[in-house]
Amino acid sequence: MVLGAIGESPLAIFLLVSAGLLVAILLALPTTDWVSQKMADVLSFFSLEKFRKPPPLLSKGDALAMQGRVGDAFHVFRQYLKVHPRNLEIYSRLIDLAFGPMQDVELGDAIIAFGVKRLDRRGRRVIKRRRNAILGGELYPLKHLGWREEAEYVHPKVEIPEELKGQFAPPS
């Protein structure tokens, strides 16, 4: 029908196909952008939070601490803290080192005071609980370094009354 209106000349067919391709391309670009944005929103596994600075790579300090180089690990985490003063994970690692293998309560309390000024309410609660758990003996960070003796639970011996003796013997 369209070919009948414009004639069957090769030039007319070429112009018709070229115009069709041009319209398809002009419609396809914004359509694919819109569809891909909708699909990305639906299938996104990543946070929509944008970082000005990427979060620190804490594995370097962790590796040093696991090797027993506690002072070097502490220095690395302090450097990270200068760049990321609101990162709760860095405070946790510093508290583990200060109250754990370094056994420096004064230094640990200084880290907590620094964190109290910079962290939100939840972060302040977490670092205070971590400190209390370490000092109370509930948590032993980096215990493979042998920094503190674990308190062993000694079960008190229970004496069986005379009238019950023999009642718990296995059947013969």
3-state secondary structure of 60: helix
| Tally of CB atoms within 10 A around 80 | 21
Q: Residue 75: pLDDT band by 50, 70, 90 thresholds?
A: very high
Q: Residue 124: pLDDT band by 50, 70, 90 thresholds?
A: very high
Mean pLDDT of 66-84: 90
Residue 168's pLDDT is 56
Those residues whose C-beta lies under 8 Å from the C-beta of residue 52, and which sit 6 or more positions away, are none
Mean pLDDT of 13-40: 86
Residue 117's pLDDT is 92
Mean pLDDT of 29-33: 86
More confident residue, 27 or 167: 27
Q: What is the pLDDT of residues 144-154, one digit of tens each?
A: 666 555 455 55
Residue 65 has pLDDT above 60, yes or no: yes
- Label residue 131 exposed, middle or buried (CB < 10 Å: 0-12, 13-18, 19+): buried
- Label residue 168 exposed, middle or buried (CB < 10 Å: 0-12, 13-18, 19+): exposed
Residue 89's pLDDT is 92
Residue 142's pLDDT is 76
* Beta carbons of 156 and 162 less than 8 angstroms apart: no
Residue 45's pLDDT is 61
The residue type at 129: R
**DSSP code string of 90-113:** HHHHHHHHHHTTT--HHHHHHHHH
Provide the 8-state DSSP code for 168: T
* Beta carbons of 85 and 104 less than 8 angstroms apart: no
Instruction: Check the CA dihedral 88-82-116-63 and report its sign.
Output: positive
Q: Residue 68: pLDDT band by 50, 70, 90 thresholds?
A: confident
Residue 120's pLDDT is 92
